[in-house]
């Protein structure tokens, strides 16, 4: 005769067995599924944070898997050169800037931009409110901070100076490392102005109540893409289906991120390893600041690039002496893989 106690024990045993079976099934399914997925190694242009929220949402919500991909995100390090990494075959896809891509192509790299997640660059120039600097016309004789010593900032300063009839010889561009924040670079008078991403470092100016002024490059006719997805040409020729799938899934991720900031920040924080970026409010600031740069208008499609903007950037860099080869811009980008 089966007692109530025996029935309870039997039920518990069956329940435990069922749970174990489900766990093993899910593990088995994941192993099998991963074996069927195409692995892609992707490298962003900065440490994991909400500037790349669309990628993290695509990862956490399963959009990559649904598109047949197992995406491995290789986090940026301060010695990382994403363009070199993709050119050398260390990774499959990277995010970089149009300026860095043109510089690499000028140096012989055979790379192609296949999407642009930011339609406008987040880059701008900041100075303290009491600096007496309000426009590039006030840069003469000043120390212009280039955070990280990057080609993009060098070009930006050259173009800003040129827009008011000045040359780079009439100011001094100072390369500044990442050991200090931009707030300290200015307060310590290491530089008079400095470049930063409006999506990120402005958070600390606001948080610390530092009085500042901003100089927007677009007010002086300077406006480029940013966070472009770049691959090697040989990889493109052999893996068009894979690249299309990545772009489709990442755009799905961005669509979801822009429609739900809380979800975007939550999924981002699951991937943040740098202690400086574990602040929820900071990540919310980044996604909110990024949104109008990714989609300036409701009709704007994510990912598309225009040939005339590439041509204009190339001519500006060529004039500034930052590239010397004749480059056909139609050969270094394509919209053909966009969904």
Question: pLDDT by residue (tens digit) across 224-239?
Answer: 899 999 999 999 999 9
122 and 286 Cβ atoms separated by less than 8 Å = no
49 and 271 Cβ atoms separated by less than 8 Å = no
Reference 181, options 156, 204, 153, 213; nearest CA is 204
Res 7 pLDDT > 70: no
- Provide the pLDDT for residue 12: 63
Reported as a pLDDT band with limits 50, 70 and 90, residue 39 is: very high
- Provide the pLDDT for residue 49: 96
Chain-wide mean pLDDT for the chain? 90
Please compute the mean of the pLDDT values over residues 128-145 and round it to a whole number.
Answer: 95
Sign of CA dihedral 173, 179, 185, 188: negative
- Provide the pLDDT for residue 333: 97
Q: What is the pTM of this model?
A: 0.86
Q: Which domains does the chain have, with CATH numbers?
A: 43-119+234-331 (3.40.190.10), 123-220 (3.40.190.10)
Which range among 10-14, 119-123, 297-301 shows the weakest confidence by mean pLDDT? Answer: 10-14
Res 8 pLDDT > 90: no
**Measured CA angle at 116 (ends 114, 120), to 5 deg:** 155
Res 258 pLDDT > 90: yes
Please compute the mean of the pLDDT values over residues 140-158 and round it to a whole number.
Answer: 90
pLDDT in tens, 196-254: 999 999 999 999 999 999 999 999 888 889 999 999 999 999 999 999 999 999 999 99
DSSP code, position 325: S
DSSP 239-264: -HHHHHHHHHHHHHHHHHHHH-HHHH
Please compute the mean of the pLDDT values over residues 285-289 and round it to a whole number.
Answer: 97
- Provide the pLDDT for residue 32: 45
Q: List CB contacts of 174: < 8 A, sequence separation 6 or more.
A: 143, 144, 145, 146, 190, 191
84 and 213 Cβ atoms separated by less than 8 Å = no
Query: In this prediction, what percent of the chain has a pLDDT beyond 90?
Result: 75
Distance CA 107, CA 191 (A): 31
């Amino acid at each position: 005769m089966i007692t109530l106690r025996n029935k309870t024990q039997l039920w518990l045993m069956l329940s435990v067995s069922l749970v174990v079976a489900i766990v093993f099934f899910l593990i088995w399914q994941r192993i099998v599924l991963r074996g069927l997925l195409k692995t892609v190694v992707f490298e962003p242009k900065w440490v994991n944070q909400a500037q790349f929220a669309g990628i993290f949402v695509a990862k956490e919500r399963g959009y990559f898997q649904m598109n047949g991909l197992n995406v491995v995100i290789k986090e940026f390090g301060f010695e990382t050169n994403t363009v070199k990494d993709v050119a050398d075959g260390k990774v499959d896809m990277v995010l970089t800037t149009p300026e860095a891509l043109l510089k690499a192509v000028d140096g012989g790299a055979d790379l192609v931009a296949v999407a642009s997640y930011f339609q406008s660059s987040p880059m701008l120039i900041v100075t303290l409110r009491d600096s007496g600097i309000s426009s590039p016309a006030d840069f003469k004789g000043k120390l212009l901070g280039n955070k990280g010593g990057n080609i993009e900032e060098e070009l930006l300063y050259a173009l800003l100076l040129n827009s008011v009839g000045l040359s780079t010889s009439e100011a001094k561009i100072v390369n500044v490392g990442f050991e200090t924040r931009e707030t300290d670079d200015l307060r310590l008078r290491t530089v008079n102005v400095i470049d930063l991403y409006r999506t990120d470092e402005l958070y600390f100016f606001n948080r610390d109540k530092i009085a500042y002024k901003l100089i927007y490059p677009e007010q002086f006719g300077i406006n480029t893409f940013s966070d472009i997805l770049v691959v090697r040409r040989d990889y493109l020729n052999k893996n068009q289906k894979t690249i299309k799938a990545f772009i489709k899934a990442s755009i799905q991720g961005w669509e979801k991120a822009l429609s739900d900031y809380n979800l975007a920040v939550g999924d981002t924080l699951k991937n943040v390893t740098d202690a400086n970026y574990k602040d929820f409010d900071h990540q919310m600031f980044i996604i909110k600041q990024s949104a109008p740069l990714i989609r300036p208008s409701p009709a704007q499609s994510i990912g598309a690039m225009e040939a005339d903007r590439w041509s204009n950037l190339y001519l500006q860099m060529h004039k500034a002496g930052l590239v010397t080869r004749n480059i056909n811009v139609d050969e270094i980008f394509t919209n053909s893989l966009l969904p």
